[in-house]
Amino acid sequence: MSNDNKSTSSTKTVFKYGEDDETIVDAVATTITSNADVDSSMYQDDEDEQTEVVAADKTSADYYFDSYSHFGIHEEMLKDVVRTKTYQNVIYKNTFLFKDKIVLDVGAGTGILSLFCAKAGAKHVYAVECSQMADMAKEIVKANGFSDVITVLKGKVEELELPVPKVDIIISEWMGYFLLYENMLDTVLYARDKWLVNDGIVLPDNASLHLTAIEDAEYKEDKIEFWNNVYGFDMSCIRKQSIMEPLVDTVDQNQIVTNCQLLKTMDISKMTSGDASFTAPFRLVAERDDYIHALVAYFDVAFTVCHKMTGFSTGPRSKNTHWKQTVLYLEEVLTICQGESITGSMTVAQNKKNPRDVDITLSYSLNGQRCVVSRTQQYKMR
């Protein structure tokens, strides 16, 4: 990873929604949480006990929606120019798709996509948001003069009814880390099957997951191997946990050792929910002699129904986004020579206890001049 990222490693995304809002926001807004940490230290013991009781009653789904109630996470997404400008361009440069159409915005957040659609001439937009941000979205819609065009509906898509039987377009920014983390895709597919007209449009309509391999000795030493010797004590039991948690971070393109391989393509307009769980083979060929410490996953999305196909990539060779890349550290350091290949397969599945989490099984082997290895590793995005 870059030195800039190392200096803020403590604020990297932690895949657990079993903490308070301050912890969740810490993953997306360091400056905000520095103040939140000060405030939290002022809580009284009885308040802490009360919080623990409330927390015990909450489900992982509650924490998921609560995390989107704070403006900090929306600020980060809105300031992601690659993300937001792509959606804006898709809508503004293809007004023929939206003119006089009924649009459903799934997971509307602040309502920015709904506002784009309304400005592009949509007949009506139904903005569905389950978090407390729905209340802010209503105010935003009113403040911008679109109350007669945009209706904000607060609740879960799976539990509410729209005022109309069908919609012409479903638009959503559903992608999570590693594309599938948080599993909002299932909600989009549910809405598609229930409300989209037969010749309707889903935006975006195509997504793909990719894989490559990197050299990352310094960061692996700092984040993983650190636990082997902590001030002279063996804490390697924590190392076993740390290596199972994929790291979301920005990868320097100069770290890439192999080619990039397409793992999975998803046609959002036709796929089923089960298609998001899959096993895909891969073959990564070394482009130089080097060491490999991790495999890196990233995704691309495309809007193919536009006048001119539009999309973006979250890969390390593209402009940075808030999704960054997903790094899966390997147990062993692989020594690879140019032209040699790492072969294997990746299995991706929803966690059985919490479908918003992702379980990843990585099987890989290298039969090279300087390194022979065959191994299977498990990863859990929480």
CA 191 to chain centroid, in Å, comes to: 20
Triad 141, 167, 196: Cα angle to 5°: 135
> Tokens 């995704």 correspond to what residue?
299
Q: How far apart are CA 304 and CA 259, in angstroms?
A: 25
Q: How far apart are CA 53 and CA 62, in angstroms?
A: 14
What DSSP character marks residue 186?
Answer: H
DSSP string, 38-52: HHHTT--HHHHHHHH
Question: In what helix (H) or strand (E) does residue 207 lie, and over which residues does it extend?
Answer: strand 206-214
Are the C-beta atoms of residues 32 and 72 closer than 8 Å to each other?
yes
Q: Point out the residues that are catalytic.
A: 173, 182
Neighbours of 326 (CB within 10 A): 28
Q: How far apart are CA 101 and CA 104, in angstroms?
A: 10
Nearest to 266 by CA among 238, 237, 304, 234: 304
> Tokens 């911008």 correspond to what residue?
144
Strands, DSSP E only, in 239-381?
247-249, 261-267, 278-285, 290-303, 310-313, 325-336, 341-350, 358-367, 372-381
Q: How far apart are CA 67 and CA 257, in angstroms?
A: 36
Q: How far apart are CA 287 and CA 296, in angstroms?
A: 16
Are the C-beta atoms of residues 371 and 336 closer than 8 Å to each other?
yes
Q: How far apart are CA 379 and CA 14, in angstroms?
A: 13
